[in-house]
Structure 1
Amino acid sequence: MSDSNAREHLDAKHERNREQRIEGIKRWVKYIESEPPETWGPQQNAVVNDQLDAAKSVRTSAAHQQHVKDVAAEIIEVRDGSNDNDSN
């Protein structure tokens, strides 16, 4: 397999993975729209907690850890800002 074929194969694989992630997100959105937060909230918390535990078991640099904290803070800020707009 030439380098260009390998790159095309990898690009195609990444695109398939991306499409699968998007479809999974769409299914999750439909689910949370059809179920009360009391049902899906604990499920979501369990997934997030497992991901955090897995991330903690991997050694990461201080810079990467700070980047993750910064992104999380931005997400919370956007979320809280959108909640403020919903009440107006």
Structure 2
Amino acid sequence: MSNSKDLDRKHERNLADRREQIKRWAEYVRTHPDRDWSQQVNTLVNAQIQSARAQEDDRPSMDELRDSPLLDDN
């Protein structure tokens, strides 16, 4: 089982990794044409929208939730 110091170190590493990735992306944006990096961002955003729509389609309807045996008061 991890102790809090291990967890703190993991969070610090994660934060450092995120900051490094932001720096690399900023450098990429500065050194490449808008067309190149904007296509990549567009691909990412479109994938996120598709994923959100798929999750929405998989959601149960309110009728299904109301009729669920898990909500039975008996």
TM-score bin (small chain): 0.5 to 0.7
For structure 2, which runs of at least 5 residues remain unmatched after alignment? Answer: 59-74
Flag structure 1 segments of 5+ consecutive residues without an equivalent. Answer: 60-88
User: Deviation above 3 Å: which 4+ runs of structure 1?
Assistant: 51-54
Q: Name 1:34's counterpart in structure 2.
A: 31
Structure possessing the higher radius of gyration over alpha carbons = 2
Amino acid at match of 2:13: R
More helix by percentage:
1
Name the % identity.
40
TM-score for the superposition, normalised by structure 2? 0.61
Give the 5 Å matches for 1:1-88: 1=1, 6-54=3-51, 56=52, 57=55
Q: TM-score, normalised by structure 1?
A: 0.52
What count of residue pairs does the alignment treat as equivalent?
Answer: 55
Instruction: Output the aligned Cα RMSD.
Output: 2.1
Higher RCO, 1 vs 2 (CA within 8 Å, ≥6 residues apart)? 2
Distance 1:7 1:24, change over 3 A: same
Query: Hey, what's the Cα distance between the residues in 1 that align with 2:48 and 2:11?
Result: 21
